């Protein structure tokens, strides 16, 4: 994507992502049921107390807008098409903020921060509608939660889904998976989910809030469940890859188990604690395991407030390139005699009229950082950097765009990692 598109994306984020501080001023605080003071002024996890011990974050729970720029929608549509071309259906599952899923627990104090539930819901549904119109299977996880009469879908003092929230989310995602053409042809097993009691989940959010409250806050507690396979059907087995955030990563919530029961398909979960929207999916899509055994369905679960458009172009461009993986153009590679962390690559043979991506395979080296120094015939150099989250499983595989450099083309690139390259490392060019 061009730099202009990047600017438009960021501008859209700036216009749409208005913080609650810009929407209204807080009025007098209502009496707290837990003797809480100064929750909204906290440097971390600034919050407001809702009804019945349910707490909401000022950011992002009380934002009316969460950006979904046209460029982001186009990127997700392209990713959907790239995955589908090689047999994988993408399900995009943005987890709504707590305020959209549990409006009955909002207190009058929330209006002091400018939050408008009707407006926020309209913006949320409009974003899903635009994605669906572009061909993205975007799932509304809010609809079942907002009318739920049983256990709470979110913890009272933590922003994550409870087991009930995971069950409701899995039901919505499961319905979207069942609507994928050809999915019925896959052999489906039978799964049984049984209750196993309850558990308190370690919650940093609760601990932070407790510092501002005199009385003990409700624990982050959920009913627990276990899902087991009870029957295995014959035939081609389908696999659902669930890549996501802390919502699907919480073991006590049994998200993957509920999804297996809903679909009758094996569910493999990938997550990176604290990794945000991109860590899990970039780990998975850039891995050799994905290229060698693509799943029938890829579910991308991520918080609504962490839409891909909040980042620069590189993460989405890399996902799309990995999904396509049209990297069949060999390049001449030379090892740097003085630096085993660097490969020097001749790019002069590439067609300058075509848009290319570079694929770097460190041959098993656990690299988390790649710096690409592109050079042209005039002796100029421009750098690009790809970083992995510290908790990611390092695959040592990177995809980097070659666009936006020089109109006359690129003649070379030096690729430097944070570790030594493996013995059989290679760099190839990919068609976009």
Q: How far apart are CA 31 and CA 39, in angstroms?
A: 12
Enumerate the β-bridge partners of residue 333: 345
Residue 148 is predicted with a pLDDT of 86
Task: Indicate the domain borders of the chain.
Answer: 3-324, 329-431
How do the pLDDT tens digits run along the chain, 432 residues long? Answer: 333 333 333 333 333 333 433 333 334 446 789 999 999 998 788 999 999 999 999 999 999 999 889 999 999 999 999 999 999 999 999 999 999 999 999 998 888 899 999 999 999 999 999 999 999 999 999 998 998 889 999 999 999 999 999 999 999 999 999 999 999 999 899 999 999 999 999 999 999 999 999 999 999 999 999 999 998 888 888 899 999 999 999 999 999 999 999 999 999 999 888 877 788 999 999 999 999 999 999 999 999 998 887 777 889 999 999 999 999 999 999 998 889 999 999 999 888 666 789 999 999 999 999 999 999 999 999 999 999 988 888 889 999 988 888 888 899 999 999 999 999 999 999 987
- Measured between alpha carbons, how far is 217 from 54 in angstroms, rounded to an integer? 10
In terms of phi and psi (left: phi > 0; alpha: psi -120 to 50; beta: otherwise), the region of 145 is alpha
Give the separation between CA 280 and CA 327, rounded to whole angstroms: 22
Helices marked H in 218-312: 246-249, 255-263, 276-285, 288-292
- pLDDT the model gives residue 10: 35
User: How many CA within 13 A on the CB side of residue 150?
Assistant: 11
Residue 248 has a pLDDT of 93
The pLDDT assigned to 23 comes to: 35
Alpha helix (H) ranges present in 245-377?
Answer: 246-249, 255-263, 276-285, 288-292, 313-324
Q: Which CATH fold would you assign to the domain 329-431?
A: Jelly Rolls (2.60.120)
Give 181-222 pLDDT, tens digit per residue. 999 999 899 999 999 999 999 999 999 999 999 999 999 999
Rg (CA), the chain: 23
CA-to-CA distance for 258 and 249, rounded, in angstroms? 13
pLDDT at 307: 83
Share of the chain above pLDDT 90, in %: 74
Query: What pLDDT was estimated at residue 314?
Result: 86
């Amino acid at each position: 994507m061009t730099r202009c598109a990047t600017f438009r994306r960021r501008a859209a984020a700036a216009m749409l992502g208005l913080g609650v501080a810009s929407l209204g001023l807080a009025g007098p605080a209502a009496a707290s049921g837990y003797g809480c003071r100064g929750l909204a002024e906290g440097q971390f996890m600034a919050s407001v107390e809702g009804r019945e011990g349910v707490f909401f974050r000022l950011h992002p729970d009380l934002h009316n807008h969460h950006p979904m720029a046209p460029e982001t929608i186009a990127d997700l549509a392209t990713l959907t098409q790239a995955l589908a071309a090689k047999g994988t259906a993408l399900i995009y599952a943005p987890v709504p903020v707590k305020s959209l899923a549990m409006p009955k627990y909002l207190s009058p104090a929330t209006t002091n921060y400018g939050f408008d539930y009707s407006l926020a819901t309209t913006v949320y549904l409009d974003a899903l509608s635009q994605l669906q119109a572009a061909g993205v299977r975007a799932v509304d996880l809010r609809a079942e939660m907002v009318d739920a009469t049983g256990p709470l879908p979110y913890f009272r003092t933590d922003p994550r889904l409870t087991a009930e929230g995971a069950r409701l989310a899995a039901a919505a995602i499961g319905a979207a998976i069942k609507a994928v053409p050809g999915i019925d042809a896959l052999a489906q097993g039978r799964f049984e989910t049984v209750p196993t009691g309850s558990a308190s989940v370690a919650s940093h959010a609760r601990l932070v809030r407790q510092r501002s409250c005199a009385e003990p806050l409700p624990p982050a507690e959920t009913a627990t469940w276990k899902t087991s396979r009870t029957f295995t059907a014959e035939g081609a087995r389908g696999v659902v890859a669930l890549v996501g955030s802390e919502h699907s990563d919480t073991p006590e919530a049994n998200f993957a188990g509920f999804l297996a029961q809903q679909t009758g398909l094996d569910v493999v979960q990938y997550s990176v604690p604290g990794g945000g929207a991109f860590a899990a999916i970039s780990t998975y899509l850039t891995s050799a395991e994905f290229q060698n055994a693509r799943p029938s369905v890829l579910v991308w679960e991520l918080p609504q407030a962490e839409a891909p458009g909040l980042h620069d172009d590189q993460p989405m461009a890399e996902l799309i390139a990995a999904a396509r993986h049209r990297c069949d153009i060999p390049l001449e590679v030379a090892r740097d005699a003085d630096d085993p962390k660097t490969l020097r690559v001749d790019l002069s043979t590439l067609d300058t009229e075509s848009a290319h991506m570079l694929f770097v395979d460190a041959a098993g080296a656990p690299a988390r950082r790649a710096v690409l120094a592109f050079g042209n015939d005039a002796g100029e150099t421009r750098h690009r950097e790809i970083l992995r989250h510290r908790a990611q499983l390092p695959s040592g595989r990177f995809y980097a765009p070659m666009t936006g450099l020089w109109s006359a083309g690129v003649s070379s690139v030096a690729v430097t990692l944070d570790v030594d390259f493996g013995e059989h490392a290679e760099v190839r060019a990919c068609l976009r």
